[in-house]
Amino acid sequence: MADPRCDVLIVEDNAMQCDEMAEFLRRADLTVEKAYNGAQARDQARLHEPRVVLLDFNLPDMTGVTLAETLRALLPTTAILMMSGRIDGLSENTLEALGITVFVNKPVPLGPLRAAVLKLVQKSRGGAEAPQQKGWLAGGLGSRR
């Protein structure tokens, strides 16, 4: 039986950016679902149980932090990558408390993003839980800024 889980859920309110990231990741043979707001993301997460969530911090209906809390409760082993061009008031303690695996500054560097997502998906497919390495996108998964 096929695995019902998708590899990646992209949550990004800028449809053009979301579609571009999705296409780029699909070219790496990843299954990708998209959501353009927090409510859609919750529904997609329940339906597809993504291995990795790429989550925009600024969404039209809620913050990425609020959505990350919901997603963490629904999907305790899913890796969550937060991305934003503006992070007013977002501390590394908040990211750590929510189990955010990596933070990505926008504009998102697609090559390193794909490398990090592929590593996370492969670990998940192998039965591993979301990696505990925290930090900013650099050097593959995460590193301190």
Domain membership of residue 78 (yes or no) is yes
In a domain, 68, yes or no: yes
User: What CA–CA distance (Å, rounded) separates 4 from 142?
Assistant: 28
- CATH number of the domain residue 16 falls in: 3.40.50.2300
Residue 82 lies in a domain: yes
Phi, psi of 96 (to 5 degrees): -65, -40
Domain count, the chain: 1
Full residue range of the structural domain in which residue 15 is found: 8-125
Query: pLDDT tens digits for 51-93?
Result: 999 999 889 999 888 999 999 999 999 999 988 776 666 667 7
Q: DSSP state, 61?
A: S
pLDDT in tens, 39-57: 999 999 999 999 999 999 8
The answer to the question of residue 143 being in a domain is no
Q: What's residue 142's pLDDT?
A: 44
The pLDDT value given to residue 50? 97
Rounded distance between C-alpha atoms, residue 27 and residue 44, angstroms: 21
User: Is residue 84, in this structure, part of any structural domain at all?
Assistant: yes
What average pLDDT score do residues 97-118 get? 83
Host H or E run for residue 65: helix 64-74
Per-residue pLDDT band for 134 (boundaries 50, 70, 90) equals very low
Provide the pLDDT for residue 86. 67
In the prediction, which pLDDT does 89 show?
Answer: 60
Burial of 144 (0-12, 13-18, 19+ CB in 10 A): exposed
Query: In angstroms, rounded to a whole number, what is the distance separating the alpha carbons of residues 119 and 141?
Result: 8
Residue 57: inside a domain, yes or no?
Answer: yes
pTM of the shown model: 0.82
Instruction: Tell whether 132 is covered by a domain.
Output: no
Residue 48 domain flag: yes
pLDDT at 84: 79
| Burial state string for 70-101 with b = 16 or more CB within 10 A and e = fewer than 16 | ebbeebeebbbbbbbeebeebeeeebeebbbb
